[in-house]
């Protein structure tokens, strides 16, 4: 019978390796457009870990290592103030293939 602890560690490493490429991204919030409604935070599966509304009443994204790159935040923004930009080499290659 396999060692379950070893299997769990192995699975965790695969997950971490799969998510490692997510770091090659950024979230931009247009402070001129943002109205601080918090819909980005509500829509995000990891909302409290990633999104905050600052004293200036503007959304701010941080701790992007938790981001799934699902773009729920950008799609739910009523004023189109959020851009999720994936800029990894893998993304460039995938884009070229889709053209």
Residue 31 belongs to domain with CATH number: 3.30.70.20
Tally of structural domains, the chain: 1
DSSP secondary structure letter of residue 46: T
Give the Cα separation of 99 and 90 in Å (integer).
15
Mean per-residue pLDDT for 22-30?
Answer: 79
Task: Give pLDDT, residue 65.
Answer: 86
pTM of the full structure: 0.64
Structural domain that includes position 22 = 4-98
Give the Cα separation of 8 and 58 in Å (integer).
40
pLDDT digits (tens, 9 = 90+) for 42-76: 999 999 999 999 999 999 999 988 888 899 999 99
Q: Read off the pLDDT band of 21 (50, 70, 90).
A: very low
What sign results for the dihedral spanned by CA atoms 31, 51, 16, 19? negative
Q: Which residues are CB-contacts of 39 (< 8 A; sequence separation ≥ 6)?
A: 76, 77, 78
The residue with tokens 């909302």 is 47
pLDDT value at 86 more than 70: yes
Give the Cα separation of 54 and 58 in Å (integer).
6
């Amino acid at each position: 019978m396999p060692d379950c602890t070893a299997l769990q560690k192995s699975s965790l490493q695969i997950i971490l390796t799969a998510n490692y490429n997510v770091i090659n991204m950024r979230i931009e919030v247009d402070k001129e457009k943002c109205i601080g409604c918090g819909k980005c935070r509500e829509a995000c599966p990891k909302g409290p870990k990633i999104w905050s509304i600052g004293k200036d009443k503007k959304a701010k994204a941080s701790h992007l290592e938790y981001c799934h790159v699902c773009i729920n935040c950008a799609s739910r923004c009523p004023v189109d103030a959020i851009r999720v930009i994936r800029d990894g080499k893998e993304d460039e290659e995938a884009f070229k293939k889709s053209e």
